[in-house]
Structure 1
Amino acid sequence: MSSSDRHHGKAGVRRRGLLALALLGPAVLATSACGFQPMYGNLGANSIGAAELQQVDIGVIKNRYGQKLRNHLIDRFYADGRPSAPRYRLETTLTASEQKLALQKDATATRAQLVVNAPYQLTDAATGAILFQANARSFISYNVLEQQYGALATVENAYDRALLEIANEITTRVSAQLGRKP
């Protein structure tokens, strides 16, 4: 390869980079002009999504894991305390099941999967009309341990990870739904 080939190669790469920047620049500006807002990241307390989530009353969820899920949701929805007169209500239920995955010759499991299912619905607090309903589901795999304490801690950790995943999904989807409202 001669030195002139190398020089043209670098110039070609530079031209392609400038062309990509010239094409990408207007696309980025167009998305910001149309009201595009990022779904993730810190939008601040004054953003539309945070203000709307602040108006959602989160209903009680039965059992201990339901309480943990509700606490995760409260942490995500309320930046400035709970609403005094909420415009929306979020109702959620929680079910879980465990499935054995890896079995040994003596039929004991070495791996398991926790499936946590949380159907939820967002309603208008004044009319009771259902605005949005969906289902959040989490699949968490974990090792089945022989020691009693280790086995309990592993299952508890799997539940915690599943509930955190479900809380994040519900927050994202409810925020997106409320962001669509005029």
Structure 2
Amino acid sequence: MTFSMGKAAPKGKPAVLAMLLLALAVLPACQFRPMYGSTGGQALSGVSVADVDTREGQQVRNHLIFLLSGGATPASPNQEVRLRVSSTVQGLADVSRNPVTNQIGNSAGAVTITASYDIYDFATKTITHSGRRSAQASFDKTSQSFANQRAQRDAENRAAREVAEQLRLAIASDLDAS
């Protein structure tokens, strides 16, 4: 639809302009904030991670420290994350031993790492938030024992990294909510 120079603009144009101005006035009142904004990083950099006692727990802890503060230890932490990490290994597709060659056929396994966490606030001396996250990684088994051990260890490391990333998001969400 075209308008000639002599005709007036459609009547709906002022209404659309008024709605646009109203939306611009109301939208800044929304509480939307990006998760990776500058305020979240400052809160996370003041969080320390307590020591753990298992290899899988150490993998989760190391990656979580890197995600929270780039690997640096906070000078004066406000909160401490206390982790409890457990790991389970299960066979997914076990194949029986071949009676002629006495070799085990290829099969698969899965590692599940579960981490429970508490956020301890040093100021109030209380646990402010708790949660639990888990991740699973699969691996192939062969007839070679070293290859099986290495594949399982790699799966544990992958699952630990995934749990640490989930923990970082959960901790950021918990701290942002308080």
For 2:157 and 2:29, the matched residues in 1 are separated by 40
Equivalent residue, structure 1, for 2:32: 36
Amino acid aligned to 1:110: S
1:136 maps to which residue?
133
Higher helix share: 1
Shift of 1:174: 0.4
Q: Give TM-score scaled by structure 1 length.
A: 0.73
Establish whether residue 149 from structure 1 lines up as the match of residue 146 from structure 2: yes
User: For 2:155 and 2:70, how far apart are their aligned partners in 1?
Assistant: 27
Q: Could you tell me the percent identity over the aligned residues?
A: 24
Question: What secondary structure does 1:103 align onto?
Answer: coil
Where structure 1 has 5 or more consecutive residues not aligned to the other structure, the ranges are 1-25
1:76 equivalenced with 2:72 (yes/no): no
RMSD: 2.5
Find the aligned partners of 2:29 and 2:140 in 1 and give their Cα distance: 49
SS at 1:177 equivalent: helix
**Aligned CA distance change for structure 1 residues 124 and 114 (closer, same or farther; 3 Å):** same
Amino acid at match of 2:33: Q
- The corresponding residue for 1:97 is 88
Q: Count matched residues.
A: 150
| 1:151 to partner: Cα distance | 1.1
Residue equivalent to 2:123: 126
Q: Secondary structure at the match of 1:102?
A: coil
Gaps of 5+ in 2: 1-22, 99-103
- The one of 61, 64, 72 equivalent to 2:55 is 64
Whole-Å separation in 2 of the counterparts to 1:115 and 1:175: 23
CA contact (8 A) 2:48 2:65 kept: no
Contact map agreement 2:57 2:86 (CA 8 A) in 1: no
For 2:175 and 2:96, locate their aligned partners in 1 and report how far apart those are by CA, in whole Å: 52
Q: Which amino acid aligns with 2:133?
A: A
TM-score, normalization by structure 2: 0.74
Q: 1:118 to 1:154 in 2, by over 3 A?
A: same
State whether residues 81 and 120 of structure 2, in contact with CA within 8 Å, keep that contact through their aligned partners in structure 1.
yes
Amino acid of the structure 1 residue aligned with 2:66: D
Which whole-Å CA distance do the structure 1 matches of 2:147 and 2:116 have between them?
A: 30
* Counterpart check, 1:176 vs 2:167: no
Between structure 1 and structure 2, the one with the greater Rg is 2
C-alpha separation in 1, matches of 2:59 and 2:113: 13
